[in-house]
Structure 1
């Protein structure tokens, strides 16, 4: 019978195994397949890898189950084999471990640092299913690895601790900043996890030895609880068509001693490591005598807080009047407020766009909103044009930001740029798929959903980066969300809207509406909401334009009467009737909404000028705006 694992990790340093996935890749097995399915199809291959690590000196093996959960196996059509794959993995590892080595059931993060749309309820179900399968085969421990945020780790730990008394190892993937993606310091996260039943706390993946060591040094350890460390073999490089890792076994051996000095009691390797790396770790630690953890630094009391440095006074705060201007949300609570959309040009010539912006400023509009490559058609950067509108025209820009075109890195970078330029009003949208635009071969990124991008932008307002890193000052974004009322079941659309509000939306802008009865229905369906709604009205330019919008543009539906009135019209006559219809819609909209969102068709900004003036004629004198130049 193997000695008690908890006791051993208090008294000595154990050697863990190394990578499995990247090692299989090095052995010639291609990427893009489920290595977890090898537990069923190629058990001899997995068993051979485990035995190589045992022969190298590993005292603990992880099962080949990192991605063996319902969500990730479903990508390969294997969701019905969760239990079978996990059980087989334990049996394979147990056979290779023999009588002396321990077997830990590996459970990987489902979100994996991405903003995937997996609910908390689903996470609970997926973790319970995998953990239950591992426990039926009598593992010695559970090892949760490559988690990026504390919330998900707590879900997994909670499911496990309710089911078993065996040791549980919790490992985060962090960079040198040492914070989780949801903004907790590692000390705070460790304190919470210890309180909730974790036996060992640690790190794996994402960083090589140096990055993890930097975080451990900041803990002022050793701590009074065992730590575990499974670094990558440095950063991967793509050489001659293959991924290679640069950290040598010798370097890992040297690092192992430093890790042990900082309180690590389980040391192995993650991506890029091999049996040679594990052998170097085992040799380096063969005569190592650790100090007692009883004398280690205690973790702080469980009083989690997301620490943010006080914002410094910025140049735009000190020398610009724009930050103190009333926001769109503040204005619309006091009076009717007009936002006009003017699409950035598809050309390098911006003269007509700037003329339109100036004309709309003269017409008294409260903000000019610029789409983000709407309909997936390539247009000039709305950030650049927004800055010009603000600095040269003196009109507030309200910028759309789509999930389609930028990954998490690009999205945060983009938002930081807006903040530097003093552009603080944005509209978060999903964005039409790239395949429907003018460059159909382009990729649609969609790292974030519209709900998630709202939450992440509002996180910047708390002074927390997307990575969880504290920022030196807080952003001041006013974030809008889109709403499409042109649906069969309006109540379902409102339920989705409520989720956007729960995510942090400050105001709502609707798709264009062409039916006065629908405007009233929207008012009634959203009467319980406490944030302003800007009702969308887009004047029609011609009969063909009307039919195109009705039949081909997602989220837009025209009434039969409107289509009949526009039928066959074109040119100036079509635009005249389009403005008449828009005025009729405004008559109803102004009775029920303070927020008006005019959408300019085909750069015919004169139509939006007429309609803006109509709003002021029907409501109050044209507002006098503070200059934003």
Structure 2
């Protein structure tokens, strides 16, 4: 009779199995189907894959249940088959292999690193359902694999420990950076998992043997006594040629790295994407007769310690800003940010005229939207760089979640850092289908909460992927707030979440009611970050009605609409400025931060309001940026 899984790991290295999904793909099953459903539709095929890995030497077999949770299965209309698919997955693995093999229930991440796609309660519910089913079968343990974030991994592990004492293996997906995707060093993440009840911690997917070896070396170098590790590397990086995916790492190469993993204290070694029974046979051959040696593991871990320290040092040290930030200024005095929209065409003449006029008026920062209302405009990154270089005004760039995926967003932020533009406003962005190119896609890889948190991660010198960036960014991150809502308290609760995510300051949608300004003050005075009250002067009666009736997030008072009714041209702009001054009177009593929005590039209006702020504050103006 074989010993229990925990006991086995004390005295031997277990060979794990290889890929299921990519191996089924190689067998002719297309991408885009539920491979887990094959537990019901093609049981003989799934058993055959398990059997091939067992015959290759694998003695730890994963069930074909990686994505067999309600959320993932619902994409295929299979949410009603969660229990049947999971139970069948365990039964097929058991029937396919010998009594000397350990069968572990595979549980994959639901969020896959994207916090926005499923709320936490739903993640917990769906993980609980799958885990409860697997724990009610004849598995020898559970394998929580391909988790990118510590938070979700802990949710899953705690659900296991709530109902079962089964051995649990916890594996992060990483690319050799030594941290999880949410920026937690692996040493710290492993420690938290062990404290929460994990038996084995390790890595799989996203990288080949070299990347996982470097990550494991970094974690092991920081520990005097290692926990048992597990690794399931990919067969290198995927290539896409002639409509087919392939992986370059050979079985021979896999076998050569197996002993290096074992010497680090790894007790389970298998394969992930791109691996085949041939890869696993090479691992089994390399480990034949291997006896774990704790002293060898310590020596192997100590060897890369200097390299790990060097890599950590390379990511340390932020560039310290030489000028006071907007947050620093607004805590000392009234501070004015003016929005000037980038042009919809290729002529920046009027935009630059407005910039120069606002500079003379003494604005503290010029902010530029990111294709607001989903209407295509010139890149605010390019204009921000021009403004900074030609005028010295601090650019404050809006970053919308709508237009860029995770790759594009990080690339965009890295470009801003290189240009020395460090003030940004994180916004969701209006849906593309309502803009001037309705056929364009809205990406929304991130929510406004997530983009704040991810930019803050860049300030720690950690990329969105978790890799070190050699330097730290120094972004000052703003968040948007719409007080023009029926239930202000609920809007403030949402705002509190943005502050918790890392927002350094708040900019509101335009407010047209002095009473609402007072209400905003009372509702937000407990917050630790400064608020810039948004005021946008109205240009005409038609402009007022359009904003009130057609633009989301903007609401005018009846009094303002009545005063603007029928006005146009110079008369309308004059009344708009007058109403703006009255709103400034109310705002400046309660807030140091003033956010003026320029309508239709009519910068003369925001110039007048900026000058009014300085007049009311008792000075003409301050130079926006000390040279």
Taking structure 2 as the reference length, what is the TM-score of the superposition? 0.91
Residue among 432, 435, 444 paired with 1:434? 432
Separation in structure 1 between the aligned mates of residue 434 and residue 50 of structure 2, nearest angstrom: 48
Q: Which residue of 2 aligns with 1:320?
A: none
Q: What is residue 270 of structure 2 aligned with on the other side? A: 268
Structure 1 segments, 4+ long, off by >6 Å, are 305-310
Instruction: Please list the CA deviations of residues 91-125 of structure 1 after superposition, one character each: whole Å capped at 9, or x if unmatched.
Output: 22212224232210111122323343545554443
Work out whether 1:341 is the aligned partner of 2:343: no
CA distance, structure 1, for counterparts of residue 241 and residue 159 of structure 2 = 42
Q: Distance in 2 between matches of 1:66 and 1:213?
A: 24
Residue 35 of structure 1 corresponds to 35
| Correspondence 1:210 to 2:210 | yes
Q: Deviations over 1:234-271 (max 9, x none)?
A: 11111111212222333333333443344333222111
Deviation, structure 1 residue 440: 2.6
- The structural deviation recorded for 1:170 is 1.7
Segments of structure 1 that go 5 or more residues without pairing to the other structure are 318-322
Question: Would you say the 8 A contact 1:113–1:147 is kept in 2?
Answer: yes
Whole-angstrom distance in 1 between the partners of 2:476 and 2:119: 26
1:409 to 391, 407, 418: 407
Comparing 486-495 with 27-36, which one deviates more in the overlay? 27-36
Matched, 1:566 2:568: no
The residue correspondences of 1:157-306 to structure 2 (distance < 5 A) are 157-218=157-218, 219=220, 224-285=226-287, 287-293=288-294, 296-297=297-298
- Deviation of 1:143 after TM superposition, in Å, equals 0.8
Q: 1:217: Cα distance to partner?
A: 4.0
- Within-5 A mapping of 1:411-490: 411-490=409-488
Matched, 1:527 2:514: no
* Number of equivalenced pairs: 617
Distance 2:317 2:57 in 1: 53
Q: 1:97 to 1:475 in 2, by over 3 A?
A: same
Residue matched to 2:359: 361
The alignment status of 1:63 with 2:63, answered yes or no, reads yes
C-alpha distance in 1 between matches for 2:160 and 2:501? 29
Shift of 1:378: 2.0
CA distance in 2, matches of 1:224, 1:559: 65
2:501 paired residue among 478, 499, 503: 503
Q: Does 2:380 correspond to 1:378? A: no
Question: Do structure 1's residue 21 and structure 2's residue 24 form an aligned pair?
Answer: no
Distance 1:273 1:463, change over 3 A: closer
CA, structure 1 residues 603+209, in 2 after alignment: closer, same or farther (shift >3 Å)? same
My pick for the range that moved more, 132-141 or 474-483, is: 474-483
> CA offsets per residue over residues 124-149 of structure 1, 9 Å max, x none?
43333221110100210111111223
Contact 2:338 2:597 in 1 (8 A): yes
SS of the equivalent of 1:35 reads: coil
Query: Are the aligned partners of 1:190 and 1:201 in contact in 2 as well (CA < 8 Å)?
Result: yes
Query: How far has the Cα of 1:274 moved from its partner?
Result: 2.2
Counterpart in 2 of 1:75? Answer: 75
Equivalent residue number for residue 147 of structure 1: 147
Cα drift, residue 356 of structure 1 = 0.5
Give the 3 Å change call, closer, same or farther, for CA 515–77 of structure 1 in structure 2: farther
What SS does the corresponding residue of 1:536 show, helix, strand or coil? strand
Mark the CA change 1:485 to 1:114 in structure 2 (over 3 Å): closer, same or farther.
same
Q: Which residue of 2 aligns with 1:579?
A: 577
Answer yes or no: is the 8 Å Cα contact 1:343–1:371 preserved in 2: yes
Alpha-carbon separation, structure 2, partners of 1:236 and 1:222: 35
CA separation of 1:193/1:363 partners in 2, compared to 1, >3 Å: closer, same or farther?
same
Deviation at 1:84, TM superposition (A): 3.3
Superposed displacement of residue 295, structure 1: 6.2
Quick one: distance in 1 between partners of 2:467 and 2:246?
A: 29
Note closer, same or farther for the CA distance 1:545–1:246 as it changes in structure 2 (3 Å cut): same
Rounded Cα–Cα distance in structure 1 between residues aligned with 2:566 and 2:387: 36
Question: What is the rounded CA distance, in whole Å, between the counterparts of 2:48 and 2:34 in structure 1?
Answer: 18
| Equivalent position of 1:545 in the other structure | 543
Provide the secondary structure at the position in 1 that maps to 2:600.
Answer: coil
Q: Distance in 2 between matches of 1:626 and 1:609?
A: 14
Deviation at 1:487, TM superposition (A): 1.3
Deviation at 1:603, TM superposition (A): 0.7
Q: Distance in 1 between matches of 2:76 and 2:53?
A: 28
Instruction: Report the CA distance shift for 1:311/1:48 in structure 2 as closer, same or farther (over 3 A).
Output: closer
> How many angstroms apart in 2 are the aligned matches of 1:307 and 1:239?
37
Which residue number in structure 2 is paired with residue 351 of structure 1?
349
Task: Please say if 1:494 is aligned against 2:495.
Answer: no
- Rounded Cα–Cα distance in structure 2 between residues aligned with 1:614 and 1:119: 46
CA-CA distance at 1:61 after TM superposition = 1.4
Once the 2 structures are TM-superposed, how far is the Cα of residue 576 of structure 1 from its aligned partner?
Answer: 2.5
Distance 2:324 2:6 in 1: 60
Out of 261-270 and 504-513, give the one that drifted further. Answer: 261-270
Partner of 2:110: 110
Q: CA deviation at 1:597?
A: 1.0
1:35–1:375 CA distance, 2 compared to 1 (3 A) = same
Distance of aligned partners of 1:600 and 1:270 in 2 relative to their CA distance in 1, 3 Å threshold: same
CA contact (8 A) 1:341 1:371 kept: yes
CA contact (8 A) 2:611 2:621 kept: no
Distance of 2:500 and 2:184 partners within structure 1: 22
For structure 1, which segment, 289-298 or 127-136, has the greater mean C-alpha deviation from structure 2 after superposition? Answer: 289-298
Structure-1 separation of matches of 2:294 and 2:193: 18
Instruction: Give 3-state SS (helix, strand or coil) of 1:181's partner.
Output: coil
Partner of 1:6: 6
Deviation string 1:158-177 (CA, Å, 9 cap, x unpaired) is: 33234333322122212222
Could you tell me which residue of structure 1 aligns to residue 602 of structure 2? 604
Q: Structure 1 CA distance, aligned partners of 2:332 and 2:8?
A: 68
Structure-2 separation of matches of 1:310 and 1:54: 43
Aligned pair in 2 of structure 1 residues 214, 478: CA closer, same or farther (>3 Å)?
closer
Q: Residues of 2 paired with 1:74 and 1:483: CA distance?
A: 34
Moved more, 162-171 or 361-370: 162-171
Kept in 1: contact 2:405–2:444 (CA 8 A): yes
Deviation at residue 294 of structure 1 after TM alignment: 7.0
